[in-house]
Structure 1
Amino acid sequence: MVGTPGRVLDLMRRKVLKLDCVEWLVLDEADEMLNMGFIDDIETILQTVPEQRHTVLFSATMPNDIKKIASFYMQEDYQHIQIKAKTMTASTVSQYYFETKLNRRFEVLCRILDSREMDNAIIFCKTKRSVDEVVAAMQQKHYNVEAMHGDLSQNQRMNTLKRFKKGQIQYLVATDVAARGIDVDNISHVINYELPQEEELYIHRIGRTGRANKKGKLIQLSHLVKRIS
């Protein structure tokens, strides 16, 4: 059976689905499943399936925090298999960075948006709080922008993504985990409002643009660090 955690739980509660004979448990997009509000549902399902089973997690990125959570649900002899990429970033993506003081970062972001032609863009933040703050500030300045993070319901995320694909939303501000569900080939720009903590997350962000042999641009906002001589 293939299903979302919510649908599987619904069938279990209605006693339509029994999992006592499950031999294989597979979590696709494992970091999303363990980090986007699904973890309680996953734990409930795991309490139902047999302990003696094969557990497989698939994920394009596996940050250290998620590895620790994942190991809790697996046997001690679990193996981490990583496929080495031929290239770290696409040759179709041009990368730029702007240095700015931390308290002027949002102002610099607005100047970039106003001075460059962008069909659309994903603006990445590290936390859900940062996403909400940036979206609120951008909406006050009348930018066509919406948020994408784990506190939004699945329906909200799907509706926002549908509008983004149709061009009804120009700017999407997102966390790394929420951006995993974004599969759009014509994103012209990716903007790192905040740097990720993991190298592979940075690479994953770049991969949102320059797809299907199209040109893309990555813009990094780096805050100035005061040097003590």
Structure 2
Amino acid sequence: MTPPVAAGSGERDLAAVARMFADPGRARILAALADGRSLAASVLAAEAGVSPSSASEHLAQLCDAGLLTVERSGRHRYHRLADRQVAVAIEALLAIAPQRPVRSLREHQRAAALRTARTCYDHLAGRLGVAVTAALVERGALEPVDGVPDTRRRPHDPISAPLPTHPYRLGPDAAAVLNGLGVDLAALRDAPSRRPLLRFCLDWSEQRHHLGGRLGAALLSAATERGWVLPTRRRRVVELTAEGSRALGVEI
């Protein structure tokens, strides 16, 4: 007699998730939310270049698929990614997606800006994110544990995904360096959270490591509060100020 199959014990339905990314409108909606924002349907319709009715249909499908969740504020509804794993999936797909032909100077400038400095959910990515991580290693806030002295890609590192093993730990000067950057390391470590303090990704555009996790989020928050890193009108693109360059010890 064949034993019963337990509910939920089957293979993951990759095709069901892939269908959500297959429509250009839905893909643009997901990309618009990849920086962790919560946006109204009307804003997402404009971002995706679709009608409000089409946006509503796409949003319903994305919510049903578990990729988005809805926040209510009074009479308004705001959509955001369900969790950080969705943002990671978006970044990973960007790494293997073919480049669309650049049809204008504006598109070229946006693509270049994304590679230079962007947010990946709630931490820095692109050339800026990689440079900040390298600077933390150089200043002793992070130290490699695998014998490689910099943030280069290690063999078998997955592209644009959290690394399965952590090649760095907090260095001997972590508290002093991070305090100078506006991050209270002791308070951050003591705060209850299921999210790891340290998490590293292989940046899809730079092919080097950038810092994520709670520390990466706290560092971006502190840099934003101090005006070192500024949001721009381009979605996910940020700007490093001259003061930020000096404080973070990076040039891009």
Fold shared per TM-score above 0.5 = no
Higher RCO (Cα < 8 Å, 6 or more apart): 1
Scaled by the length of structure 1, the TM-score of the pair is 0.28
- By percentage of residues, which structure has more helix? 2
Scaled by the length of structure 2, the TM-score of the pair is 0.26
